[in-house]
Structure 1
Amino acid sequence: MQLSLELEYWIVDDTGALAPAAPVLERIDDLHAESADAMLEVVTDPCDTVPELREEVTARLREAIDVARAEGRHLVPLGTPLNAESISTSDGPRTAIQRQILGEPFDNATRCAGTHLHVDQIDGAETDQLNLLTALDPAFALVASSPYHRGHNVAACARPHVYRRTCYGDYPQLGRLWPYVETLEEWDERIDTTFDRFRQEALARGVDPATFDEHFAPENSIWAPIRLRETYDTVEWRAPDVALPGQVLQLAEDVRDILALAADRRVEIGDRAGVTASTVSIPSFERLQHYVRMAINNGIDAPPLERYLQTMGFDPTDYRPISAEFDTASVSPARARWLRLRYADRLEREVEALAGTQSRAREPAIQPI
């Protein structure tokens, strides 16, 4: 099963203030711009193995970091900017339409930096993959990297709190976790129904139909944590924060390995979660929502969530969420700037360590004479 990553990073200057990513974007073709001017996205190609993905993430991050330094910039691996009074945005037609429909709440989306994981669809098991990945959703707590939104400690996992609870106003289904499905036809019907409502609202607010249709399609107009991407033949998980690469790669490997079980085991909804030789049992959606709320509000410090993740195949002791390193009720703008630089430095040091490990791994063994 191939897997790939999309990693969003804040860009700051040498003082820790948010700064336009444009100087870095202009020098590296493979980077993607985001609606927030102070953010860029690093995207990998599909990789067959986790070591291959680790090598690609390391190479792409190393290039981005080097170019950023030359431009007086740094990449920051935090799920929110911690505290920023305003965030400059570049609204193309697509973003402008979203803002027109969703109103002021949509501004909160520009304060979220995440990780998107793509895993190959398994032919004939797509529904099981969707349901299993839905059941794994609370694992975003394993890599939570910020508890702060606009300077206030709002939740152990601030980004999913902001994204799912505050961004979509009268259209919460656009950004919340969707229930399990029984068939792909049911999934497609949900997508079409949600998209049609979104389009109707856009036209009712004066958006030109041709302009809307140029920039939106059913597959790319739903921002729920889990999506079936027919364009790429992948299942996409959009829930985790951006974080330090070692933790993100560990999560990608764990999720890939658990999703691979859908190839030869039946995924069933039961009273208890667990894995046997023939089945993967996942909790009811109502019970799952309880774990999701626990993940957002308390993170992996919540013992019931920790036990659930262990049952599903994760080892929480493998993870050290950055979010757990913050324990104050608020953070000032000056403190936020200092913290951004601190974690930018940690990112740079970790990428160099990963590069050194890979270099040593490629060195040929010395042959005896």
Structure 2
Amino acid sequence: MNTSIEVEYWVIDTAGELTSPGELAEISERTEREFVEPLFELKTPPCETIAELRTSFVEQLDEVLSKAAAVDKRLVPLGTPINCESIDRRPDERGRIQKAVVGENFDYAKYCAGTHIHVEKRNVTDQLNTLIALDAALALVNSSPYFHGERIANSARAYCYRKKSYAEYPKHGQLWHYVDTVGEWHRRLEDRYDEFKQAALEEGIDERAVEDQFSTDDVVWTPIRLRDEMPTVEWRSPDAALPSQLLRLADELETVMEQLHHTNVEIEADSDPRNTGHVTDDGIVLPEFDVACDLAEAAMHDGLESADVASYLERMGFTVDDYHPISMQIDGRQYVPTSDARALRVESARRLEEDVKSLRQSVEH
């Protein structure tokens, strides 16, 4: 099954200050700048095996890190920059329209760096429903509990998106209910596009400008999206994290996605989060939607410290003890001043560099 990873990393200078990617975004067609100045994105090609994905991801990152070292820059695997001065959005028409529609809350997204995992479309309805049910797996790689220095959730990034950026447009930025057909999913997309377009027109945005910048395929920022051009099902919930963590997550997610093509996927009626949901050789059983949402909430707020989340993810096929989320390692304070945030960014950049070095050695052997 073809799988790929897109990850956003903060770029810093040697002192830990956020800076522009500059030449790092020009290394290849798979490296680019993001919509805010200090964010850099790397995309792997679709890979038929996890081994191929690992090789591609590590080789690309190694090249980027070599260039970064030459220009005194580093990459930081944190879901938010912890605490920093105001971040500027790069000027573009799409962002201008989003800000006009969503309002000031849209600015929360400027402080978020995440990971998108793409899996090849096959049994799409089952894939959508299973990814919805597995959203709590974001807890496995939570990487920053802080926003503007304040501790707000084990995944501050997920909190910013779900509770702040799209608070007024929950259907555009939160988990959608399970679906019976792919057609139902597309009808929801059409409804969200119409809602967004109408809101833009009410803000005085020209209709042609909206139509030029948005389509039903990209008008929502929900944790799960269908991407027709790739074509993939995309899971967008995880934070930016260490490459080894993301590869482990992609591997275990792909295993579940592969298994659902060879077994039955059902939704059970048990609403007790201590018992609901499991992946076995006999089939995949998803929890009720409300339970899946509760587990995703707990994953966002408490991460793997939630016993319900940890045991649920084990039942769903994840080796929870193999994950060591960065959030759990840097958590513990209610407030982190900017000087300490710079030091944490430098330390996180060092860990990423060591992680890639270790991965490169394993790939070579």
Alignment TM-score > 0.5, same fold: yes
Question: What is the alpha-carbon distance in structure 2 between the residues aligned to residue 29 and residue 227 of structure 1?
Answer: 23
Question: What is the alpha-carbon distance in structure 1 between the residues aligned to residue 96 and residue 287 of structure 2?
Answer: 39
Stretch of structure 1 that moved more, 211-220 or 276-285 = 276-285
1:257 to 255, 258, 279: 255
1:317 to 303, 314, 321: 321
1:179 shift after superposition: 0.9
Q: Residue 218 of structure 1 aligns to a residue in which SS?
A: coil
User: Which 4+ residue blocks in structure 1 deviate beyond 2 angstroms?
Assistant: 26-30, 275-279
Q: Please give the root-mean-square deviation of Cα atoms over the aligned residues, in Å.
A: 1.2
Question: What is the alpha-carbon distance in structure 1 between the residues aligned to residue 176 and residue 22 of structure 2?
Answer: 35
1:59 shift after superposition: 1.0
* Residue aligning to 2:236: 238
* Residue aligning to 2:155: 157
1:253 shift after superposition: 0.4
Amino acid at match of 1:356: Q
CA deviation vs aligned residue, 1:73-126 (integer Å, no higher than 9, x gap): 11000000000130022121111111111111011101110000000111xx21
1:184-195 maps to which residues of 2 (within 5 A)?
Answer: 184-195=182-193
Contact map agreement 2:7 2:43 (CA 8 A) in 1: yes
1:229 shift after superposition: 1.3
Question: What is the alpha-carbon distance in structure 2 between the residues aligned to residue 347 and residue 27 of structure 1?
Answer: 19
Q: Residue 342 of structure 2 aligns to a residue in which SS?
A: helix
* Residue aligning to 1:24: 24
1:281 to 285, 294, 303: 285
Shift in CA distance, 150/26, structure 1 to aligned 2, threshold 3 Å: same
* Residue aligning to 2:307: 303
1:63 shift after superposition: 1.3
1:230 shift after superposition: 1.6
* Residue aligning to 1:338: 343
* Residue aligning to 2:245: 247
* Residue aligning to 2:357: 352
Question: What is the alpha-carbon distance in structure 1 between the residues aligned to residue 170 and residue 291 of structure 2?
Answer: 20
1:278 shift after superposition: 4.0
Contact map agreement 2:153 2:302 (CA 8 A) in 1: yes
Alignment gaps of 5+ in structure 2: 271-275
User: How many residues are paired up?
Assistant: 358
Question: What is the alpha-carbon distance in structure 1 between the residues aligned to residue 21 and residue 280 of structure 2?
Answer: 47
Matching of residue 44 in structure 1 with residue 44 in structure 2: yes
Contact map agreement 2:26 2:32 (CA 8 A) in 1: no
> What TM-score comes out, normalization by structure 2 length?
0.96
Question: What is the alpha-carbon distance in structure 1 between the residues aligned to residue 116 and residue 279 of structure 2?
Answer: 25
Q: Residue 220 of structure 1 aligns to a residue in which SS?
A: coil
Contact map agreement 2:27 2:64 (CA 8 A) in 1: no
Matching of residue 329 in structure 1 with residue 334 in structure 2: yes
* Residue aligning to 1:138: 136
Q: Residue 98 of structure 1 aligns to a residue in which SS?
A: helix
Q: Residue 258 of structure 1 aligns to a residue in which SS?
A: helix
Q: Residue 358 of structure 2 aligns to a residue in which SS?
A: helix
Amino acid at match of 1:21: P
Question: What is the alpha-carbon distance in structure 2 between the residues aligned to residue 131 and residue 28 of structure 1?
Answer: 35
* Residue aligning to 1:9: 9
Question: What is the alpha-carbon distance in structure 2 between the residues aligned to residue 30 and residue 247 of structure 1?
Answer: 20
Contact map agreement 1:121 1:233 (CA 8 A) in 2: yes
1:23 shift after superposition: 3.4
Q: Residue 219 of structure 1 aligns to a residue in which SS?
A: coil
Question: What is the alpha-carbon distance in structure 1 between the residues aligned to residue 353 and residue 183 of structure 2?
Answer: 45
Amino acid at match of 1:315: T
Question: What is the alpha-carbon distance in structure 2 between the residues aligned to residue 189 and residue 275 of structure 1?
Answer: 30
Question: What is the alpha-carbon distance in structure 2 between the residues aligned to residue 299 and residue 357 of structure 1?
Answer: 29
Q: Residue 7 of structure 1 aligns to a residue in which SS?
A: strand
Q: Residue 134 of structure 2 aligns to a residue in which SS?
A: helix
Contact map agreement 2:133 2:287 (CA 8 A) in 1: yes
1:114-129 maps to which residues of 2 (within 5 A)?
Answer: 114-122=114-122, 125-129=123-127
Contact map agreement 1:148 1:158 (CA 8 A) in 2: yes
1:206 to 193, 204, 207: 204
Contact map agreement 1:254 1:314 (CA 8 A) in 2: yes
Question: What is the alpha-carbon distance in structure 2 between the residues aligned to residue 31 and residue 332 of structure 1?
Answer: 31
Question: What is the alpha-carbon distance in structure 2 between the residues aligned to residue 241 and residue 275 of structure 1?
Answer: 24
1:27 shift after superposition: 4.5
1:26 shift after superposition: 3.8
Question: What is the alpha-carbon distance in structure 1 between the residues aligned to residue 52 and residue 159 of structure 2?
Answer: 32
Amino acid at match of 1:305: V
> What TM-score comes out, normalization by structure 1 length?
0.95
Stretch of structure 1 that moved more, 274-283 or 89-98 = 274-283
1:273 shift after superposition: 1.2
1:189 shift after superposition: 0.6
Contact map agreement 1:22 1:37 (CA 8 A) in 2: no
Question: What is the alpha-carbon distance in structure 1 between the residues aligned to residue 309 and residue 27 of structure 2?
Answer: 43
Question: What is the alpha-carbon distance in structure 1 between the residues aligned to residue 343 and residue 96 of structure 2?
Answer: 32
Q: Residue 220 of structure 2 aligns to a residue in which SS?
A: coil
1:276 shift after superposition: 4.1
Q: Residue 84 of structure 1 aligns to a residue in which SS?
A: coil
Q: Residue 234 of structure 2 aligns to a residue in which SS?
A: strand
Contact map agreement 2:17 2:342 (CA 8 A) in 1: yes
Question: What is the alpha-carbon distance in structure 1 between the residues aligned to residue 116 and residue 134 of structure 2?
Answer: 14
Question: What is the alpha-carbon distance in structure 2 between the residues aligned to residue 57 and residue 350 of structure 1?
Answer: 12
* Residue aligning to 2:273: none
